[in-house]
Structure formats: structure tokens, C-alpha cells
Amino acid sequence: DPKIIQKPKYLVAVTGSEKILICEQYLGHNAMYWYRQSAKKPLEFMFSYSYQKLMDNQTASSRFQPQSSKKNHLDLQITALKPDDSATYFCASSQDGTGGCERLFFGHGTKLSVL
């Protein structure tokens, strides 16, 4: 019974289009994250939110915009898609995002392919 739900599981998009990746968590956590896993690259931190506020952004491009409409939601909007954006995007959550020692719980990921 997954506690972090990511939708969709697979996504195919054309270059230049816009997509939204959905993430909901039912663990009662106050911090949520996005990570990206590209082929032959380590899992890479993108954003962190704590109590619906942006804590850290390591994404160089403004084409990636997180959206937190509710405490347990953190969607990821990607505009002007490029083939290099092809990756699996993982949503994660933790208790409150502070202290640096928290266990992260990950969703199953959304695999994005940009043609």
C-alpha cells in the first residue's frame, strides 16, 4: 500500500511541451522533495520544501517549478521540455526537513521520456 503516490508512472512528451508530475504523500510528513535519476548519473537533489515553503533549490533552470497546493502535495511543473530532461523523477518526504539526519521515504517515480 504505497504511502507516496506519484502520477503518472510513465510519461512521454514532445520537445517544447509542458508537463506536470504529481506527488501526494500520506505519511503525515511536513517536508517533501524532488530528486531526479538520469541514465548513468547518480540520484540528484532538485528541491526541498518544509511546511509548504521552499527550503532549497539546486535546479539551474527556471523551467522546473515545484507547486505545493496542500501540505501533502508537491507537484513538479516542467516547461519547454528538452530531450535532456528525460529521466525518472522521484518524490520523497521526511518528518519535517530539518536537522540533516532524517530518513527520506521515496515514491516509485515518474519515468519521463522527451522525444
Partner 1 sequence: QEKVQQSPESLIVPEGAMVSLNCSFSDSASQSIWWYQQHPGKGPKALISIFSNGNKKEGRLTVYLNRASLHVSLHIKDSQPSDSAVYLCAVSMATGGNNKLTFGQGTVLSVIP
By CB under 8 A, name the binding residues for partner 1. 4, 31, 33, 41-45, 48, 55-56, 58, 90, 92, 94, 97-109
Nearer to partner 1, 50 or 81 (CB): 50
Partner residues linked to 22 by β-bridges = 7
Nearer to partner 1, 66 or 107 (CB): 107
Instruction: Report, in Å, the least distance between residue 113 CB and partner 1.
Output: 15
Which 8-state DSSP code applies to residue 87?
E
Instruction: Report, in Å, the least distance between residue 77 CB and partner 1.
Output: 21
Q: Are 59 and 2 in contact (CB under 8 A)?
A: no
- Chain centroid to CA 92: how far? 7
Instruction: Report, in Å, the least distance between residue 80 CB and partner 1.
Output: 26
User: Using alpha carbons only, what angle is made at residue 61 by residues 60 and 65, rounded to the nearest 5 degrees?
Assistant: 115
